[in-house]
Amino acid sequence: MVWPATLIGAVAGFTLANIPGALLGGLLGQVLDRRLRLDSWSALRARLRGDPAIDLQDLLFILLGRLAKSDGRVQEAHIQQARAEMKRQGLDEAGTRRAIGAFNRGKAGGDDLHSSLRTLKHERPTVERLLRSCWQMAAADGRIGRHERELILQWGHSLGFSAAQVEALGAGYDTPHGLPPKRSNSYKEALLLLGVTAECEPAVIKRAYRRLLSQSHPDKLAGSGASPAVVRAATDRTRELHSAYSLIRERHGFR
């Protein structure tokens, strides 16, 4: 039997009218989150208004452009890093032109990126790749400035990451104050570098060393499109980790 549209509307209206407000809000909230992949009422209002969503590729290069200009001047190293990212993604001529346009758009700084970033909160692998690319751009000139770090932490918060999680994603690219890591010349410094204590078991020390080594491995960074400056910093950090681990292993007497 086909129900008249007016009857369907009346039944729907009666049903909604008789659902308690809190329960109705919860039901609609589940629809937003699971069906529409929206995590806020503001995002729903934007969808209903027809606000254009920023394409993921455009969003990436807008972020990179914003970072490149964050200290006031885009350097050649930033441009080279943007080109490396385009190459890594295998963009054709049209895609490259679009990426350049998005990069320039990011430099202008006119976009409110918060809503676009929030729509990606449930896409963890995509978010991690996005943040790593941002760290690579921030470190392209050999140092990560305060403004660059603040931007990345702010974007990470919009993406649902804690500050510690965002910092961990940049561990392979960052060095304190933008300088190469100081060479460990004492047992205490070696422990600090690996993030362990003298009381840690050998297995814990080994895990810490391998984790840090994996994050900072220059070959891994080079393969992901990192700039030469980032790869050089990672090479320095890898040597420092080797030296620290050797010193701790000798002191603790394990292989």
Q: Give Rg (Cα) of the chain.
A: 24
In a domain, 178, yes or no: no
Residue 197, CA atoms < 13 Å, CB-side half-sphere? 2
Give 245's contacts (C-beta < 8 A, 6+ positions apart): 190, 194, 205, 209
**Which pLDDT score is estimated for 53?**
56
Residue 214 lies in a domain: yes
Q: Are 40 and 63 found together in one domain?
A: no
Where on the phi/psi map is residue 160: left (φ > 0), alpha (ψ -120 to 50), or beta?
Answer: left
d(CA 148, CA 173): 13
Q: Can you list the residues of the chain whose pLDDT is less than 50?
A: 1-3, 5-17, 19, 22-24, 27-29, 31-52, 175-184
Is 78 in the same domain as 110? yes
Nearest to 112 by CA among 51, 168, 169: 51
Q: pLDDT tens digit string along 179-190?
A: 344 444 588 888
Same-domain check for residues 115 and 193: no
Identify whether 1 is part of a domain. Answer: no
Answer yes or no: are the C-beta atoms of 195 and 247 closer than 8 Å: no
Q: Helix/strand/coil (H, E, C) string of 35-102?
A: HCCCCCHHHHHHHHHCCCCCCHHHHHHHHHHHHHCCCCCCCHHHHHHHHHHHHHCCCCHHHHHHHHHH
pLDDT for the residue 20: 53
Residue 122 falls inside a structural domain:
yes
pLDDT at 60: 92
Contact present, 133 and 55 (Cβ < 8 Å): no
The range of the structural domain enclosing residue 30 comes to: 7-49
Residues 105 and 64 in one domain: yes
Domains: count for the chain: 3
Instruction: Tell me if 68 is assigned to some domain.
Output: yes
pTM higher than 0.75: no
The whole-number pLDDT of residue 182 equals 45
Question: Does residue 149 sit in the same domain as residue 127?
Answer: yes
Q: Calculate the alpha carbon distances from 125 to 86, 89, 96, 108, 250 in Å.
A: 19, 16, 23, 28, 38
Q: 201 and 119 in one domain?
A: no
Burial class of residue 83 in the structure, from the number of CB atoms within 10 Å of its CB (0-12 exposed, 13-18 middle, 19+ buried): middle
**Is residue 224 located within the same domain as residue 243?**
yes
Are 77 and 229 spatial neighbours (Cβ–Cβ below 8 Å)? Answer: yes
Say whether both 126 and 60 belong to one domain.
Answer: yes
Claim to verify: residue 62 and residue 108 sit in the same structural domain: yes
The whole-number pLDDT of residue 73 equals 85
**Are 83 and 21 found together in one domain?**
no
User: Is residue 26 located within the same domain as residue 45?
Assistant: yes
Instruction: Give the Cα separation of 183 and 104 in Å (integer).
Output: 39
Domain edge (last residue) among 144, 170, 196: 170
How much is the pLDDT for 172?
65
Q: Is residue 175 part of a domain?
A: no
What six digits make up the tokens of 243? 């030296």
Residue 88 within any structural domain of the chain: yes
CATH number for 194 = 1.10.287
List the helix and strand counts (H, then E) for the chain. 14, 0
The Cα 120–Cα 122 span in angstroms is: 6
Residues 157 and 163 sit within 8 Å (Cβ to Cβ)? yes
Please indicate, yes or no, if residue 181 is contained in any of the structural domains.
Answer: no
The per-residue pLDDT for range 118-132, each reduced to its tens digit, is 888 788 888 888 998
State whether 166 and 222 are in the same domain.
Answer: no
